[in-house]
Amino acid sequence: MIVEFLSAGLDVFLSPLALGFTFCGILVGLLVGAMPGLGPLMGIILLLPVAIGLPPVAAMGFLIAIFVGGSCGGSVSAILLRIPGTPLAAATLFDGYPLAQKGRASDAIGIAITSSAIGGLIGGVVLIFCAPILASFAANFAPPEYAMLAVLGLFAIVVISGGSIVKGLLAGCFGLLIATVGTDSFSTGLRFTFGSHNLLNGFHIVAVVVGLFAISEMAAQMLGRDLLRKPDVKVERPGLGTITMTLKHYVNLIRSSAIGTFFGAIPGAGGVISSFTSYAVAKAAAKPEEKYGDGAEGGVVATESANNATVGGTLVPTLALGIPGDASSAMLLGALLILGFIPGPAMFENSPDVVGGIFMVYLASNIFLLIAGILATPLFVYVLRIPKVYLIPSILLLCSIGTYALQASVFDLQIMLVFGLIGILFRAAHYPLAPVVIGMILGPILEDNLRRSLLISREGYWIFVDRPVSTILVVVNGLLLATMVYLTIKRARGSKQSELAKALSADE
Amino acid sequence: MKHIGKVKGTVLAGAFVTASAIAALAEFPERNIEVIHPWGPGNAMAMSKVVAKAMGEELGTDMPVISLPGAAGTKGQKTAMGKPADGYTIFDGYVAPLVLQPILGNADWNYKDFKPLSAAVANAFAIAGQLDESRWADFQELMAYCKENPGDLRYSSGSRNNLPHMVIAKVLQSYGCVAQNVPYTQDGNVFKDLGSRVLDFAFINVGNYRANPDKVKILLVLSELESSKKAYDGAPTIGELGIDLGLSNLGPMGWTWWIVNPDTPDDVTEKLRGAMERAMARPDVIEAIEAIGFVPLDWDHTKYEEIVGSVDAQLNSMGNALAWEEEELGKLN
């Protein structure tokens, strides 16, 4: 059956138009991903009118390649500039940026691109071989499971907070708080909108991320004394060496890709959660000498393989059930409908050539990503040679264009600036920024699914232990919480004892 | 020198007059025209992009569709109508923000406050149940079960206070059926949770039904139109079951009518109307709209008052079934 799909798909895929548009899609994707503000969704929306005029497989190749390239492109600006091009790459800067600061920018981008491509290919293998099984498993994820999964995701804050867990948790709470702004979908009441219609749907996540990370980073850069200096950065093309470097982390690569595919397959979960979760798991499993947060290659491998594997995962429910995994795949689903194909089980039976063609363009996109990404890396790294006096205003301009383009809204620009100021204050007080993003993304998932579960339940909170997967997640969450509390207390006692020992030895 | 000064003045004045004349003669549109879409990315937005692309081709400009979801579509409508009345902003006027929210007291406008371009599309809803349901065989039995077990059943209409919610609540009210509405932000998840038996019944649109026609059972099509019955493979309609909701034609259906700010100059409005009417008449546009599961509408602006006015009157007079549902659920808790 799978072979039939692939051979039928190969015939339609091997056309200059399909191959050419898939390659163009990767270039467009890398560009929209790397530009702060824009991202794969915006790329797909902007180019949908072009795609719907093409033959089906070429059209889907173009759009899927934008999705794949855009999911990876954000890592470029995260690594080089400490600005995630998309929220998907917010976790990549933990280790990508320090790696670049150590003079290994080309290596870091090479690892990010290779991990993205391999993660995407692993997601693709799952898509091709397990789509119906994974789709039916994911279809059984109901509000109680989503709520417990969101709680699990919040634990990532503790792992990624680094220095101070309390500061990380406070930043996470801030993210949860700002996620409450807007219209409450349950009561249709307005929360913290202060009479402004611009706040009826809350804050746009991209405006917040660009403000928090990009504006505050540019402000920090402006305080430096090297604004006019032309940095002497060695620009080189990453070779096969980066592929070897990435493959050294094969356990991390496979585990993170599996996490990414899983989160992708669950409609509504998305790539941001998968990249943070993969990073948290990789960090927790790493040896201390790997120094996560200080330029560990494994950190880049974890986040980038996960967020690109998520693309393959989101295509599972989109193609197999006709249920989009996220906003980008919702647009892909719309494109398929316009092209005359109804995603779902019937499409697998009636149009095996198109299904096979989509599988092929997805796999090819990831291979093209590796080729185009590696070839283009010197161009990206060249950005670091631009003196900051030119670089900073250019980045601020790009951030503004990207943020405005989201909804053609000046209000989003104002939000970007406000969160830029908040980001500056956070940095000044040494509060981590990433937990804000986690809180903001997981907040609505947790709140909506908790309330939804309680509306569905006929026995109150017992619904969370009535269902097997939800029960397992409740137990896992309980164990994780207990472990974290235990470790925190142990660490606190350990530091008290060492302080006491120090004091005693000083007395002697 | 004096002559040179005079010549300079004449040239400058000439240039000014010429520039003014060029500006006056400049043809609308001179730049992109934005279409504000009140929902998130998905099938409806893809459909709007089809219409916008065709209309842009007729006008010789690009027409980007901008997604501005929030507050049942009212955020998009407020934003669109707050932009300059120059014809460069069009609102994808769905029934929820245009007619329903003002009726529910959540918006301070009336459909008459805007200038219509042309009708775009309609989308019929249906109530779907599980395929292997043993508690009831058809819609009438479902209602009988619901009446015997008040507050026991769980259903979803997607978002809360939207048109499907209002229409389903009205149907339930007419049968005395009290069931718990469960709001969802993504329609796909409604369908998923219906399939996994988390929900007892739910609203469904043609797109979701066509993707998985073997996974659900259509119990009732919320429309009297033959085209809607056909889209749901001959399932019973409200007319056939003798359910009188006081809604006819577009009344129980989702639809969109593209509108502009009332102060938009007449010549610009006429140009937009002509382009939209030509776009909506194109076979490729009709084919693409039907492929997504929507029904193209061919009413021009002259029918706006009659068609939208009729829906407004029907929804106004059908009473607030949502308030009834809330009150009845409140009594049970």
For residue range B49-107, what is the model confidence (pLDDT) as tens digits? 999 999 999 999 999 999 999 888 999 999 999 999 999 999 999 999 999 999 988 89
In sequence order, what are the beta bridge partners of B258?
B92, B118
In a domain, residue B263? The reply is yes
Residues 211-230 in B contacting A (C-alpha not used; CB under 8 Å): 211-214
Of the residues A63, A183, A349, A403, the best mutation for testing chain B's interface (the one with the most B CB atoms within 10 Å of its CB) is A183
Structure tokens at B291: 């492929």
Determine the Cα–Cα distance for residues B323 and B166; give it in Å rounded to an integer: 10
Alpha-carbon distance of B121 to B293, in angstroms, equals: 10
Residues of chain A with pLDDT under 50: none
Which chain B residue shows the shortest CA-CA distance from A327? B41
The CB-side HSE value for A92 (13 A sphere, CA atoms) comes to: 39
Query: Could you tell me the CA-to-CA distances from B160 to A286, A462, B70, B129, B197 in Å, in that order?
Result: 46, 25, 12, 19, 20
Same structural domain, A67 and A205: yes
HSE on the CB side for B237, CA within 13 Å? 20
8 Å CB contact of B41 and A330: yes
Domain assignment of residue A359, yes or no = yes
Measured between CA atoms, how close is B210 to chain A, in angstroms?
7
Cβ–Cβ under 8 Å, residues A268 and A445: yes
- Tell me how many degrees the CA angle A398-A402-A406 measures, rounded to the nearest 5: 170
How high is the mean pLDDT of chain B?
88
Question: Is residue B28 situated within a structural domain?
Answer: no
Q: Are A412 and A484 in the same domain?
A: no
- Write out chain A residues lying below 8 Å of B31, CB-based: none
Same domain, B91 and B205: no
Quick one: which of A188, A41, A29, A182 has its CA closest to B45?
A41
Note whether A407 contacts B66, CB cutoff 8 Å.
yes
Specify the CATH number for the domain of residue B238. 3.40.190.10
Residue at A289 is within a domain = yes
B68: contact with A, CB 8 A cutoff: yes
The first and second tokens of residue A134, run together, are: 């994974």
Residue A233: its pLDDT value, please?
Answer: 65
Q: B288 CB near a chain A CB, below 8 Å?
A: yes
Whether residues A457 and A477 share a domain: the answer is no
Cα separation, A460 vs B247, in Å, equals: 37
Rounded CA separation B227/B207 (Å):
15
Give the mutation candidate from B35, B36, B43, B74 for the A interface (greatest A CB count, under 10 A). Answer: B43
Contacts 24+ apart (CB under 8 A), A423-427: A423/A211, A423/A212, A423/A213, A423/A215, A423/A216, A423/A217, A424/A215, A424/A216, A424/A219, A424/A220, A426/A171, A426/A212, A426/A216, A427/A216, A427/A220
Residue B99 in any domain: the answer is: yes
Tell me the C-alpha to C-alpha distance, in Å, between residue B46 and each of A220, A338, A339, B50, B121: 41, 8, 11, 6, 12
User: Are B208 and B219 contained in the same domain?
Assistant: yes
* Inter-chain touch B79–A339, beta carbons under 8 Å: no
**Does one domain contain both B106 and B79?**
yes
- Do A180 and A248 have their domain in common? yes
Please choose, from the candidates A366, A92, A371, A109, the residue with its C-alpha nearest in 3D space to the C-alpha of residue A245. A109
Residues in chain A with CB shorter than 8 Å from the CB of B192 are 139, 267, 317, 321, 323
Average pLDDT over residues B211-228: 88
Interface contact A342-B211, CB threshold 8 A: yes
Same domain for B246 and B235, yes or no, is: yes
Range of the domain at B180: 125-250+320-332
Minimal Cα distance from B46: which residue of A? A334
Q: Do A45 and B74 touch (CB under 8 A)?
A: no
CB-based contact B144:B118 (threshold 8 Å): no
Task: State what percent of residues in chain B have pLDDT above 70.
Answer: 92
**Are A443 and A484 within one domain?**
no
Are B214 and B326 members of one domain? yes
Residues B133 and B115 in one domain: no
Number of domains in chain A: 2
Query: In terms of Cα–Cα distance, which of A2, A21, A36 is closest to A335?
Result: A21
Secondary structure, 3-state, B251-310: CCCEEEEEEECCCCCHHHHHHHHHHHHHHHHCHHHHHHHHHHCCEECCCEHHHHHHHHHH
Q: Nearest C-alpha of chain A: how many angstroms from B170?
A: 19
Query: Nearest residue of A to residue B77 by CA position?
Result: A197
* A49/B53 CB distance under 8 A: yes
Q: Which amino acid is at B164?
A: P
Sequence-distant (≥ 6) Cβ neighbours of residue B156 within 8 angstroms: B181, B182, B183, B184, B190, B193, B194, B199, B202, B203
Task: Verify that A81 and A161 share a domain, yes or no.
Answer: yes
Spatial distance between the Cα atoms of A60 and A361, rounded to a whole number of angstroms: 8
**Residues 148-167, chain B: which have Cβ within 8 Å of A?**
152, 154, 159-161
Quickly tell me which residue has 């039995």 as its tokens. Answer: B141
Establish if B45 belongs to a structural domain.
Answer: yes
> Is residue B135 assigned to a domain?
yes
Q: Which residue in B has a C-alpha nearest to residue A340's C-alpha?
A: B291
pLDDT in tens, A71-128: 998 898 899 888 888 888 888 988 999 999 888 888 999 999 999 999 999 999 988 8
Q: Do A323 and B70 touch (CB under 8 A)?
A: no
The full DSSP string for A27-54 is HHHHHHHHSTT--HHHHHHHHHHHHTTS
Same domain as A496, residue A410: no
pLDDT recorded at residue A163: 67
Flag whether pLDDT at B282 surpasses 80. yes
Contacts of B69 (CB under 8 A, 6+ apart): A201, B38, B39, B40, B75, B76
The answer to whether the CB of A120 falls within 8 A of the CB of A366 is yes
On chain A, the residues whose CB falls within 8 A of the CB of B121 are none
For residue A92, the model assigns a pLDDT of 92
Q: How far apart are CA B250 and CA A211, in angstroms?
A: 44
How far does CA B10 lie from the centroid of its chain? 56
* Chain B positions in Cβ-Cβ contact with residue A343 (cut-off 8 Å): 211
Are B163 and B243 within one domain?
yes
CA torsion, ordered B59, B61, B62, B65, to nearest 10 deg: -40
**pLDDT value, residue B25:** 46
- Whether B196 is in a domain gets the answer yes
The answer to whether B160 contacts A41, with C-beta atoms less than 8 Å apart, is no
Which residues are within 8 A (CB) of B249 and not within 5 positions of it... i.e. 6 or more apart? B224, B225, B307, B310, B311
Which residue type, as a one-letter code, is found at position A403?
T
Residues B236 and B162 in one domain: yes
Rounded Cα distance, A176 and A436, in Å: 7
Residues in chain B within 8 Å Cβ distance of A142 = 193, 196, 198
User: Hey, are the CB atoms on B79 and A198 less than 8 Å from each other?
Assistant: yes
* Strand B125-130, strand B216-221: pairing: antiparallel
CB contact under 8 Å between A139 and B79, yes or no, is: no
User: B245 and B100 in one domain?
Assistant: no
Q: Is residue B227 predicted with pLDDT exceeding 60?
A: yes
A200 interaction partners in chain B (CB closer than 8 Å)? 70-71, 74-75, 78
Mutate to test the interface with B, among A190, A193, A319, A338 (most CBs of B within 10 A): A338
Answer yes or no: do B43 and B106 share one domain.
Answer: yes
pLDDT of residue A170: 94
Considering the domain architecture, whether residues A281 and A296 belong to the same structural domain is answered as yes
Residues A456 and A473 grouped into a single domain: no
Q: What tens digit of pLDDT does each residue of A20-49 get?
A: 999 999 999 998 888 887 788 888 888 888
The answer to whether A88 and A341 are in contact (CB under 8 A) is: no
For the residues B203-223, what does the mean pLDDT come to? 88
CB contact under 8 A, A139 and B293: no
- Residue A25: strand pairing partners: none
Residue B15 confidence (pLDDT)? 57
- CATH of residue B268's domain is 3.40.190.150
Q: What was the pLDDT predicted at B24?
A: 44
Provide the chain B residues 176-205 that lie in CB contact (below 8 A) with chain A.
180-186, 188-189, 191-193, 195-196, 198-199
First to last CA, chain B: 95
Residues in chain B within 8 Å Cβ distance of A140: 196
pLDDT in the model for residue B10: 60
Asked if B293's CB is within 8 angstroms of A452's CB, the reply is no
Chain A: nearest CA to B81, how far in angstroms? Answer: 12
Q: What is the ipTM of this complex?
A: 0.85
Is residue A136 included in any domain, yes or no?
A: yes
Compute CA distances A312 → A116, A121, A198, A367, whole Å. 11, 8, 34, 14
d(CA A287, CA A419): 35
**Which of B46, B72, B198 lies closest to A331 in CB terms?**
B46
Q: Does A57 share its domain with A182? A: yes
B45 touches chain A (CB under 8 A): yes
Query: DSSP letter at B86?
Result: S
Helix intervals (H) in A227-339: 240-247, 250-265, 271-285, 297-321, 327-338
- A366 and A479, same domain (yes or no): no
Residues A150 and A77 in one domain: yes
Domain shared by B214 and B267, yes or no? no
Establish if B43 touches chain A: CB-CB under 8 angstroms. Answer: yes
Q: List the domain range (segments joined by +) for residue A427.
A: 2-226+239-466
Query: Which residues, 6 or more positions from A50, have their beta carbon under 8 angstroms from its beta carbon?
Result: A62
Orientation of helix A352-382 relative to helix A297-321, angle to 10°: 150
Total Cβ atoms within 10 A of residue A123: 32
Answer yes or no: do A188 and B152 touch at CB < 8 A: no
Report CB contact under 8 Å: B50, A337.
no
Question: So what's the pLDDT on residue A294?
Answer: 87
| Cα A393 to the center of its chain, rounded Å | 26
Residue of chain B whose alpha carbon sits nearest to that of A343: B211
CB contacts < 8 A, A to B, total: 160
Residue A234 is assigned to a structural domain of this protein: no
For residues A129, A132, A137 and A142, what is the CA-based torsion angle, rounded to 10 degrees? 140
Question: Of the candidates A340, A344, A455, which has its C-beta nearest B212's C-beta?
Answer: A344
Please list, in sequence order, all residues whose beta carbon lies within 8 angstroms of the beta carbon of residue B142, skipping any fewer than 6 positions away. Answer: B129, B135, B136, B201, B219
d(CA A295, CA A93): 9
The answer to whether residues B66 and B35 touch, using CB atoms and an 8 Å cutoff, is yes
Instruction: Report DSSP state, residue A61.
Output: H
A388-407 vs A410-428: helix crossing angle, rounded to 10 = 130
Looking at the structure, tell me whether residues B129 and B116 fall in a common domain: no
Is there a contact between A193 and A199 (Cβ–Cβ < 8 Å)?
A: yes
Q: How many domains does chain B have?
A: 2
A45 contacts on B by Cβ (under 8 Å):
41, 45, 49, 65, 67
Q: Domain for residue B20, yes or no? A: no
B32 chain-A contacts, CB cut-off 8 A: none
Measured in angstroms, the CA of B223 and the nearest CA of chain A are apart by 23
* pLDDT value, residue B14: 59
| Residue B292 at interface with chain A, using a CB cutoff of 8 Å | yes
Tell me the shortest Cα–Cα distance from B64 to chain A, in angstroms. Answer: 7
Q: Please answer yes or no on whether B66 and A143 come within 8 Å at the CB atom.
A: no
Angstrom distance (rounded) from CA B47 to CA B60: 20
Is B207 within 8 Å of A344 when comparing Cβ atoms? no
